[in-house]
Structures are given as structure tokens and as C-alpha cells.
A and B are shown apart, each in its own frame.
Chain A
């Protein structure tokens, strides 16, 4: 069975500082990997996804993530955050050939001035 671990429940950071949100997964088969963002009282919006190919994936709003197969990680990074990046971020995985997404418990990014 797949599982996703987001080690940090909350990450406080100052505006314009870099940030990394960590995500580790476990699966015995090939997977697709996703990062979603959720703003308060809204649905989830896809930031980026890894299907195959280059391990560095660039997404919207200046975010990027790197797939590391040996460490089973898919950490999300942004070189300079904005106040508007304050939100909940979810890492998710799906096994190839299966439809359901398995989500981590989320990381709350708090950006302060």
C-alpha cells in the first residue's frame, strides 16, 4: 500500500526567503507524484506533477519539485516566497494504473512580512 509522509505540519517563513516543503512516499511500484495547494475554504489546485522524465519539475507560481527515486522523496521548493503563498500544501501519489490519489496530511506554510 502506498503512503505519503509530510514531516512538517507547519512551516513559518519570512517573505522573500526560500522555502522547502518535504514529502516522502512509500510504494513498491512506479508512481505519479503531485503537489496541490489549498487556500482557506477552497478546493485544491495543482501546483505541479511528476510523471516521468526529468526529475526536476517546474510548476505554477514559481514552485518546483525534485523527484528522488533512491530517497523516495518529492520535496517542493520556492526560492522566494510571497505573503500570498500562505496556504496548505499537500503532496499526493498515485500508482500507475490506479486512479486514486493518496494524500499526505499537509503542510501549512505561513509567510509573514
Chain B
């Protein structure tokens, strides 16, 4: 039973380029969460999605960042015109149902480490 998969594991971009981070949830999971971990800090919530719906994007920066979870395929976190401050580890997590109502565990992927030069 494969866990949450993220690719690429490492991504290097120059300032102004676009970064696309992919997340495939665990089999049977329909809820996806994205978190960002800056150096020497804890994880910060960014966005919560279900298939074809953004449920909570209260942690997403207002500009340049977007996320989607299409009916088919992985969830994508897209960062346009990256800046050095975007350098961080981006983690995806998935759960089988509404974690808030039932206390379901969020299962984390290995993360994508983005470095902006």
C-alpha cells in the first residue's frame, strides 16, 4: 500500500521561473493538504482540497500561489515567478475523509525541497 507520493523530491528554480509540485494521495484518500516548512520552523498550513474543490485556502499567499486537485491525476501546487523567499520544503498530506470532523490522521509525503537561486 503505497504512501503519499510527491515529486520531484528536489527542485531548483531561478527567480522568476515557475515551480510545479505534484502530490499523489494514498489510495482511497480524497482529501489533500499542503503545508510549507521554512528553514528552522514548523509546518504552516497552506490549502485543503477535495477532488475538484478548494475547501480552505486561508494559508495560501494571495499572489503567485495556486493549487488544484483534478478529478483525475495528482494534486498540483503551482508557484509562479518564484522568489528566494519561496525556498522551503513543501509537504503534502492526505486523509480518507473529513479530518476535522472525525480526527482522521493526515498522512504526509516525503516533501519537495524547493531551492530558488
Residues of chain A touching chain B, judged by Cβ–Cβ distance below 8 Å, are 4, 32, 34, 36, 41-46, 49, 51, 90, 92, 94-106
Contact = CB atoms under 8 A, between A and B. Distances in A.
27 contacts: A4-B42, A32-B103, A43-B111, A44-B93, A45-B108, A46-B105, A49-B105, A90-B42, A92-B43, A94-B99, A96-B100, A97-B100, A99-B31, A99-B48, A99-B98, A99-B99, A100-B45, A100-B48, A100-B56, A100-B59, A101-B35, A101-B43, A101-B106, A105-B40, A105-B41, A105-B42, A106-B42
Contact of A44 (B91, B103, B113): B91
A99 B105 CA distance: 10
B43 A90 contact: yes
B105 to A, nearest CB: 5
Interface residues of B, number: 30
The 6 closest A-B pairs by CB, nearest first: A103-B42, A43-B108, A100-B45, A51-B103, A44-B108, A99-B100
B4 interface: yes
A49 B48 contact: no
A49 B103 contact: yes
Interface string B88-99: 000101000011
A109 to B, nearest CB: 15
Given A32-B103, A43-B110, A103 B33 contact: no
A44 B109 CA distance: 7
B42 A104 contact: yes
A106 B43 CA distance: 9
Contacts of B2: none
Nearest to A88: B42
B91 A43 contact: yes
